[in-house]
Amino acid sequence: MAQANATTHDEVATFIQRTLHVSSFKRANADLNGDGRPEAFVYVTDQAYCGSGGCSLVVLSPQGNSYRVVLRSTVTQLPIRVLATSTCGWRDIGATVAGGGITRPYTARLRFDGHRYPSNPTVPPAVPLKHPTGDILIDG
């Protein structure tokens, strides 16, 4: 599990640049587990992390003076949402799925399994939603 000292925005940016070797990303914060410490959502836009199905999404959760990766998902499109629903005490995440052979864009619900979120929004355990509700964190 990847970890790094990360208490400020600059430290999160350094962590992403060092561990993923990227310099282009969009970032937002949301407290997913209600502990008062927001998780960092990082939508990586470097070409090496993007394809016809979208780009990679990484969610880092504070753990002590470090972060742990609770989601590293491929083929996600914008917008990224925090949904109104929760699983195992963590808010569900909505990732848009489109392109890469998907003919009808939709939002997939990614549910926390007690350890992490699923790594691919196009296959189970991700669930397609007809009417996603929640806050948009990162938009195109």
* DSSP 8-state class, residue 38: P
pLDDT at 40 over 90: yes
User: Does residue 24 fall inside a structural domain?
Assistant: yes
At which residue do the structure tokens 């629903």 appear?
85
Domain span including residue 31: 9-138
CA-to-CA dists, residue 117 to 9, 55, 80, 82, angstroms = 23, 16, 14, 13
* DSSP 8-state class, residue 61: E
For the full predicted model, state whether its pTM sits above 0.85.
yes
pLDDT for the residue 8: 58
Q: 131 or 23, which is more confident?
A: 131
Give tens-digit pLDDT for 52-109: 999 999 999 988 777 899 999 989 999 999 999 999 999 999 999 998 888 899 999 9
User: Does residue 112 fall inside a structural domain?
Assistant: yes
User: Does residue 3 fall inside a structural domain?
Assistant: no
Q: What percent of the chain has pLDDT over 70?
A: 94
Q: What percent of the chain has pLDDT over 90?
A: 66
User: Does residue 22 fall inside a structural domain?
Assistant: yes
User: Does residue 4 fall inside a structural domain?
Assistant: no
Pairwise CA distance, residues 39 & 116, whole Å: 13
pLDDT band of residue 10 (cuts 50, 70, 90) is confident
Burial of 2 (0-12, 13-18, 19+ CB in 10 A): middle
User: Does residue 2 fall inside a structural domain?
Assistant: no
Total count of domains within the chain:
1
User: Does residue 131 fall inside a structural domain?
Assistant: yes
Burial of 1 (0-12, 13-18, 19+ CB in 10 A): exposed
